[in-house]
Amino acid sequence: MFLNEAGLYDYGVKSLGRAMRTVADLRRLMEKRVEPGERGEADIEAALARLREHGYLDDAAFAETYARLRQENEKLGVRRVRQDLQQKGVGTELIAETLEARYGQTNEEALARAHLERKRLRKPENEKETARIMRRLVAAGFSTGVIYKILRQWDVPDESLAALDNLEDEPSEE
């Protein structure tokens, strides 16, 4: 059974009650519940407009909350949060503004160290562990410069650091 505009609005309110969503994400969910064609698109647009009007749907608020939670709770780097927001359909300009406000004055090295502590990752004992930590930090959104700086401060042997340069070509196992 397909939903009309009122049904889509109710569906949107319930969906937003369960989880934060972007306009693009909610539109994708609604498209599965309408008749294909112009009428369904018009109903989706009307429902989304009402949700925005009532303050239930706001990409700027979503992006700010998402970035704050990823930075404070998960200790993720700016690159990872940017990628996640892009995948969720947030606009490029809004992402740039949000990340500048959230990460502009952040010390990336301190955040990377907090991420390592949160994940209980310790100083690597061999090349394999060094490579694992490198992959984990890259996946968490930290720059290679910061990663190498942390590894050097841990007195990781230069041979292990040199071996990391070859990792970019290998597939990640995590």
Please indicate, yes or no, whether residues 43 and 12 belong to a single structural domain of this protein: yes
Please indicate, yes or no, whether residues 112 and 164 belong to a single structural domain of this protein: yes
pLDDT confidence band for 68 (50 / 70 / 90): very high
Lowest mean pLDDT among 20-34, 58-72, 77-91, 147-161: 147-161
Q: Taking the model in full, what pTM does it have?
A: 0.84
Lowest mean pLDDT among 71-75, 93-97, 150-154: 150-154
Split into its structural domains, the chain has a count of 3
For residue 155, the model assigns a pLDDT of 84
- 174 inside domain: no
Mean pLDDT of 29-46: 93
Question: From CA 147, how far away is CA 134, in angstroms rounded?
Answer: 7
Please indicate, yes or no, whether residues 162 and 114 belong to a single structural domain of this protein: yes
Please indicate, yes or no, whether residues 116 and 96 belong to a single structural domain of this protein: no
Locate all alpha helices (DSSP H) within the chain, ordered by sequence.
5-18, 23-31, 38-53, 59-72, 78-87, 92-103, 108-118, 127-139, 144-153, 158-164
166: pLDDT strictly greater than 70: no
149-158, long-range: CB < 8 A, 24+ apart: 149/109, 150/109, 150/112, 150/113, 150/116, 151/124, 154/123, 154/124, 156/123, 156/124, 156/130
Please indicate, yes or no, whether residues 26 and 65 belong to a single structural domain of this protein: no
Please indicate, yes or no, whether residues 132 and 147 belong to a single structural domain of this protein: yes
Q: Which residues constitute the domain of residue 17?
A: 5-53
In this predicted model, what pLDDT tens digit does every residue of 103-117 receive, in sequence order? 999 999 999 999 999
